Each structure stands twice: as C-alpha cells, then as structure tokens.
Amino acid sequence: MVSLIQLEYIVALDSYRSFSLAADKCFVTQPTLSMQVKKMETDLGITIFDRTKQPIVVTDIGRIIVDQARLVLSESKKIEELIQLSKNTLTGELKIGVIPSIAAYLLPKFLGNLARKHPGIKISVQELLTEEIVENLRTEKIDVGILVTPLEHAGIIETPLFYEKILLYMNAAQEFAKLENIKLSQINTDNLWLLSQGHCFRNQVINLCKMKDSNNALPFEYESASIETLIKFVDKEGGFTLIPELAALDLPDSKKHLAKQIKDVKPIREVSLVTNRVFVKQRILEVLKTEIIQSVPKEMLDKKRGEIVEWK
C-alpha cells in the first residue's frame, strides 16, 4: 500500500534530484527517505529513479508516477483549505517567484501591506527569470509566479493582473526629447541600451522594434540585468532605452518628462499571476491578487489601453 509519506518523498526527490536535499526538505534522515522510496519501488515492481546518473533522474514510468503523486498530494492538501474556510482563517506559506523587471517596481507597492493584513501567511520571495519560474512551479519550489504573459505553457494557469505601457526613456539631449508624439519609425536602434539575455522585457523590446543586426552608435556595448542601470547609462552616455510604466512612475519629477509613450503603437505588457495546475492555495492566491490590483493605478487594469507586445 503506497502511503502519502512515500508520495511526498518521491515528489521531493524529483524536485531536488538529490537524496540528501530531498531528505532535508522532508525533515527526515537520508537513509529513511531512501529506504521508503526503495520500498515503494519494490512494492510497485518498477524503478522510479535512475540512480546511476548524477544528479539522479526520473525514469519514463517514474515520471507518470511522480506526476500522479503531485495530483494526489494536492487533493489531500485541499482538506486543510476547507478547514481554514470553515474557520474563516488564512494561514500557510506563500512562496513567490517574480521576474526582475517587475520586482523592483511592484513588490514595494503591496508586499508590506499583504504581510501586515495577513500575519498568518509566511511569505518568501525570489527574483527569477521566466523559465526559472516555470521550472520552480513544476517542481513546487515556489507556489506562484509574477511575470509577463501570454506564456502559453503546458501545465501553467495564467491570471492577468494589469497592463502597463512600454515607454521610451531618453537622454535629455536626444533630438526628439522635446517631442510629445514619437513614432516607432523614429527610433534608431543603434542607440538603444538593452537588458541582458534571458529577460523577457529584452525580448519584448526586440520584437517591438523589429531589431536586426545594427551598427552600435553607443560609446561601448553593455547589457544589464537592471533597468535602473540602463536608465543611468542613458542619463550619462546618451541614447535611450525602453522601460515599463511602473519604472517610469518611480522616476524623480525632474526626469518623468523623459519617459514618453510611442504613439502609433501604444505598446503594453500583460503582467499576470501564474500557478501550476495542481495549485491548491486558492484563498491565499485571491488575497495576493487583490492586494496587487489595488496597488497599481486603475488605468492599468484596462487591457484595451494598448497593444500587447509578445515576448516569445
């Protein structure tokens, strides 16, 4: 008879691909976890994990068993959710992954309020790239992600939150810095500062500008993981970059006029909560969603305010 404990052990082993790490996460000794996994394999007459490889990997039949184990465990956790609902309480752990181009500008707006209003929720946050969030959702290392969609990834549920403009931020000496109406065709990508590889906002900029190989007119080539760094290089070295609307709202009043909308396209990005399909903390998710929506300007809730730029 397979037990829920054994299911927890094989799910942890699949997530961390190490007997020692999985044992630590399950708060048991490594021999205990190893023995229970081996017993489950013997009882079922199959091999769930290939131990000849490092890190260990799940076998083909093992993948089917582990995926089913995740479903069974998620259903069992719904009991706790029902009990909390009957008692009108909200407790538990919420592990959030958020992409860097959102984290710096959104988290300070709602995270403190969320923690103060719901002290029973233990909140932890990691900055991760989009693909890292997807992988961490699959292995249940995080509960929910905040990132740019549409993602259209199998096994991922997307809940749109708001739609922020993609704005052009320029050096004050830029030739069209004083213009109010700037068209996409006026943007010379030779003078464009970019985020580094792996950032979805970089891909949106490339897609929006239809960038191809160009002659870099900037004083040196530099790709940053930080929008703030790009803004400072634009101020110091010239050229321009594209920034999300929440970043523009954080600019000092003396620089807000340097962030301008592209009038003929009105590009926006869709920011969403994402979970895996077995996510069970629905009440906590609703609280998180509400806090985020209340923290951003109301006009950002309107999907019709512009054209969503694909990032994939």
Q: Where residue 222 falls among pLDDT bands split at 50, 70, 90?
A: low
pLDDT at 288: 96
According to DSSP, residue 300 is labeled G
- Of residues 75 and 21, more confidence is placed in 21
Q: Between these two residues, 17 and 218, which has the higher pLDDT value?
A: 17
Could you tell me which residues come within 8 angstroms of residue 195 by beta carbon, excluding any fewer than 6 positions away? 101, 201, 202, 205, 223, 224, 225, 227, 230
| H or E element in which residue 169 lies | strand 156-170
pLDDT band at 158 (very low <50, low <70, confident <90, very high): very high
Measured CA to CA, the distance from residue 260 to residue 244 in angstroms comes to: 11
Measure the CA–CA gap between 5 and 176, rounded to whole angstroms.
64
pTM above threshold 0.75: yes
Which pLDDT score is estimated for 213?
45
Structure tokens at 226: 């930080």
Residue, of 232 and 185, whose pLDDT is higher = 232
What ranges in the chain are assigned the alpha helix state H?
Answer: 4-16, 19-26, 30-44, 60-87, 100-117, 130-138, 200-209, 227-237, 245-249, 282-295
User: Could you give phi then psi for residue 54, rounded to 5 degrees?
Assistant: -125, 120
Q: Regarding predicted confidence, which is higher, 127 or 213?
A: 127
Q: What is the pLDDT of residue 179?
A: 79
Domains delineated in the chain? 4-85 (1.10.10.10), 90-155+273-300 (3.40.190.10), 163-268 (3.40.190.10)
* Count of C-beta atoms within a 10 Å radius of residue 139: 15
